[in-house]
Amino acid sequence: MQNSHVIIVKSEIANRRIIMSRRYFGTDGIRGEIGKAPLTPDFVLKLGWAAGRVLASQGVPLVVIGKDTRISGYMLESALEAGLVAAGVNIRLLGPMPTPAVAYLTRTFRAAAGIVISASHNPFQDNGVKFFSSDGTKLSDEVEQKIEEYIDRDIETVSSEKLGKVERVEDAAGRYIEFCKRAIPNDITLEGLRIVVDCANGATYHVSPYVFSELGADVITIAATPDGVNINDNCGATSLALLQKSVKEYRADLGIALDGDGDRLMMVDHLGEVVDGDEVLAIIAAHKHASNTLGEHVVGTLMSNLGLEKAVTSMGLTFHRANVGDRYVMEIMRKTGGMLGGESSGHIIARDRISTGDGTIAALQVLHALIDSGKVLHDLKQIMEKYPQTLVNVRIKEKVDLHDNSEIQKAVEQAEQQMGSRGRVLLRASGTEPLIRVMVEAEDRAETKELAEMIASVVSKVAA
């Protein structure tokens, strides 16, 4: 076991100097509660114009826009459309589409950028705007900084003959379905498998069930009737009780839960037991390694379970821990040439297939491993032994300096001394919500809970 140590993400602070100096962009675009700054119609119109000015300077004045199923998506889409058109940018509207689908279609349309209107796993009251570059990856910090600089200027509309034009892409869902199906070999069929697919009443409702059924599976679809306000509501990757119940009720082989924008997944085996992002990553890594299609590197994060690290290194592979956030996972993958990476939360990036996290494609990779091995999901996940982790999210009203606060450091040191070499502590600020995440990992579950709650109570008192 590694020596107990606290990891307060100092390297992440260094990597995010530009982000921390900005007013609007966070680690995953701009996100917040609808009607409150910055998620207001006037701001989003200005954002569209600012992005249009920056992106049009790249010489390809075309942007694709997709959204999840939140009722506020209509308002934000219209505002972005007006701003982009005023900047002289042409638009292809994709309608409700998973985030990874927008990344894929950005590339296929040779667009300057893709825009997703989504707040991912957040409740319907929230929404957000995030961007993809022309190659389907997150915009660089430098480009986002330039967009912010334009937000501070007055809107200057191009002359009438140079205004952008808007088209709706009618076959966007079909294009993405076919793309996903190509993620496994043509000779692989899902016939004989009964799968429950939980779409979180989100952007995958008209896509993912068809991917699995067209490949031969018997698919039972749940949480696939979005009404604008039920996205992620007691369903999807962040709330698995409905899926666990449904898998047992329908005597399914397994269940797949996607989040509101489809870029992450969690799974459930035939017994109703959860298979999380770390276990999914281990299963895919083992299968790809056995078929010599993986390479030598697998990327997790500081939150990845120690059991995943041990499983990967036991294969003779190198395991890297990136800072939390899929953009940092991708950064390490690029540096190392790694083809597989992901997060415990279910963001899995199969870089040989797509440039961002994709829940549907990750699920297909697991199903491929299941079919090749002849095993059930419950047996496949035994490839790694999970160490107990307790994660406590502490909501804060203002930023907390995790480095210099003596009360927090004292609590952490106390936990370290108690665990000795049997565990570790991780404190980090969320990049998308006003939260401090307190994680304790150790051999003893009761001890992790006790120490995580102790540290969280101190953080909560300091942040009150």
Q: Which residues are catalytic?
A: 120
Q: In this structure, which amino acid lies at residue 439?
A: M
User: Of 237, 231, 227, 181, whose CA–CA distance to 208 is shortest?
Assistant: 181
- Do 257 and 243 meet the contact criterion of CB atoms below 8 Å apart? yes
Report the distance separating Cα 322 and Cα 8, nearest Å.
13
d(CA 308, CA 157): 52
Q: Are strands 113-117 and 126-132 parallel, antiparallel or unpaired?
A: antiparallel
Question: What CA–CA distance (Å, rounded) separates 346 from 327?
Answer: 14
User: Up-side HSE of residue 327: CA atoms within 13 Å toward CB?
Assistant: 20
54 contact partners, CB below 8 Å, separation of at least 6: 143, 146, 147, 150
What is 192-253 written as a DSSP string?
T-EEEEE-TTSTTTTTHHHHHHHTT-EEEEES----SS-TTSS-STT--HHHHHHHHHTT-S
Helices vs strands, H then E, count in the chain: 16, 19
C-alpha closest to that of 308 among 320, 325, 296, 293: 320
Residues in the chain: 464
Q: Which strand (E) or helix (H) includes residue 379?
A: helix 377-380
Segment holding 96, helix H or strand E = strand 90-96
153: Cβ contacts below 8 Å, ≥ 6 apart? 50
Distance CA 69, CA 295 (A): 37
Residues 6+ apart with CB under 8 A from 156: none
Strands of 9-67, DSSP E: 30-33, 62-67
Contact status, residue 456 vs residue 392, Cβ threshold 8 Å: yes
